[in-house]
């Protein structure tokens, strides 16, 4: 589908700098966009990507600097809300509500390779693909256009939403949801929260294992990615557009907020909270109950809130525990200082 840039600009009430009669075909994140895509830029920390993006057209705030004249710009006060309107009109997935068979069923056009086994009450949507030697247990729902590789185990009561891609040798334990809508909302003029359509997907690469009751949200646009060989413990939350690197382990009750990138060979211990739109570099270990509020750019071990290198965190913790002693000592010193001042003033 080709969408005229002028039509998109009229839809969102934006002004155009560049070729208004040209068209675009897709939407993508600024660092993933191709030559036929529209993208958006609304946070200053993403301005660095404007120099290298391959996008054709950019929704951008008027006050942001625009160095490149080979791009077409649509100037809007709220690029994120403008993108929402474009997604709603041109790119929103239409769910087919055609009922669910109470018995095991495979939708029209679904390919199930030799050796794949489906349990009872498994529902598989249309145009999907399930590879060889993959076992899908009972009460599992696999929606339209899902691709599942070979040698996978999908345990009971798993839901895999539309358009998600599962690699080879993947294990997904009971109760997990792959591709649930991301937590995306924009407040309107009345203070109500309007839902931002979540039209991306989830990509789970080879040799990943996902524990029970894990939620991995689909991307708003593009993909949420769980990298090769990574392991997610029970009760982990991965938000939309998060990218987890290779061979990374995330322990129970940890959560990663939207659009954050976690590197390769990273360990997040239990109950770690990670803020959105930041990066954690390769070879990083984050201790239990740590809050990561800013990017971690140096490999090492981190602990505390906000996250600090372990040695510094332990020193500070020692001081915190000594605060009552420090307070008492300060009080004694103030008393002695007062006595000295009285002597000097006599």
Instruction: State yes or no: is 265 an active-site residue.
Output: no
Alpha-carbon distances of 147 from 124, 130, 132, 316, rounded to whole Å: 11, 6, 12, 49
Alpha-carbon distances of 316 from 171, 219, 235, 326, rounded to whole Å: 41, 38, 31, 13
Q: What is the pLDDT of residues 108-130, one digit of tens each?
A: 567 888 788 888 888 888 888 99
- CA 264/CA 285 separation, integer angstroms: 11
CB atoms within 10 A of CB 156: 16
Residue 324 phi/psi, 5-degree rounding, is: -60, -40
| Structure confidence at residue 116 (pLDDT) | 84
What CATH number does the domain located at 3-90 have?
A: 3.40.1390.10
- Tell me the two tokens of residue 63: 């006050």
Catalytic residue among 138, 240, 265, 319: 240
176-195 average pLDDT score: 93
pTM over 0.85: no
Each as own residue / partner, the long-range contacts of residues 79-85 (CB below 8 Å, 24 or more positions apart, any chain) are: 79/40, 79/41, 79/42, 80/40, 80/42, 80/186, 80/196, 81/12, 81/186, 82/12, 82/13, 82/14, 82/40, 83/27, 83/38, 83/40, 83/59, 83/221, 84/186, 84/194, 84/196, 84/197, 85/11, 85/12
| Structure confidence at residue 45 (pLDDT) | 85
The CATH number of 105-310 is which of 3.40.50.1980, 3.40.50.1820, 3.30.70.20, 2.160.10.10? 2.160.10.10
25-34 average pLDDT score: 92
Cα end-to-end span (Å), the chain: 92
Query: Which of the 8 DSSP states describes residue 95?
Result: -
- CA 71/CA 74 separation, integer angstroms: 10
Query: Domains of the chain: which residue ranges?
Result: 3-90, 105-310, 315-344
| Structure confidence at residue 102 (pLDDT) | 46
Closest by CA position to 91, among listed 182, 222, 215: 222
| Structure confidence at residue 106 (pLDDT) | 53
**What are the b/e assignments for 21-39, b being 16+ CB within 10 Å?**
eebbebbbbbebbeeebbb
Q: What is the pLDDT of residues 125-177, one digit of tens each?
A: 888 899 999 999 989 999 999 999 999 999 999 999 999 999 999 999 999 99
- The percent of residues in the chain predicted with pLDDT above 70, rounded, is 95
């Amino acid at each position: 589908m080709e969408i005229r840039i002028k039509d998109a600009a009229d839809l969102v009430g934006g002004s155009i700098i560049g070729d208004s009669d040209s068209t675009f075909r897709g939407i993508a994140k600024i660092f993933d966009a191709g030559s036929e895509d529209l993208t958006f830029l609304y946070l200053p920390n993403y301005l660095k990507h404007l120099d290298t993006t391959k996008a054709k057209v950019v929704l951008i705030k008027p006050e942001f600097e625009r160095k490149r004249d080979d791009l077409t710009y649509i100037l809007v006060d709220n690029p994120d809300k403008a993108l929402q309107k474009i997604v709603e009109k041109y790119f929103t997935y239409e769910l087919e509500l055609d009922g669910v068979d109470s018995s095991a069923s495979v939708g029209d056009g679904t390919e199930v390779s030799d050796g794949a086994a489906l349990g009872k009450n498994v529902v598989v949507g249309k145009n999907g693909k399930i590879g060889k030697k993959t076992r899908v247990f009972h009460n599992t729902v696999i929606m339209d256009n899902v691709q599942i590789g070979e040698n996978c185990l999908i345990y009971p009561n798993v839901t895999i939403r539309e358009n998600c891609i599962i690699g080879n040798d993947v294990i997904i334990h009971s109760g997990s949801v792959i591709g649930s809508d991301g937590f995306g909302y924009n407040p309107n003029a009345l203070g109500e929260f309007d839902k931002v359509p979540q039209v991306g997907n989830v990509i789970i690469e080879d040799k990943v294992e996902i524990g029970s009751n894990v939620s991995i949200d689909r991307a708003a646009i593009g993909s949420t990615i769980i990298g090769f060989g990574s392991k997610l413990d029970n009760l982990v939350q991965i938000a939309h557009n998060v990218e987890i690197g290779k061979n990374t382990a995330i322990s129970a009750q940890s959560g990663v907020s939207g659009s954050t990138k976690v590197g390769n060979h990273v360990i997040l211990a239990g109950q770690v909270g990670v803020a959105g739109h930041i990066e954690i570099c390769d070879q990083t270990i984050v201790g239990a109950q740590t809050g990561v509020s800013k990017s971690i750019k140096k490999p090492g071990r981190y602990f505390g809130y906000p996250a600090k290198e372990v040695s510094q965190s332990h020193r500070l913790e020692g001081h915190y525990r000594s605060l009552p002693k420090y307070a008492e000592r300060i009080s004694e010193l103030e008393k002695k200082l007062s006595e000295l001042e009285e002597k000097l003033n006599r």
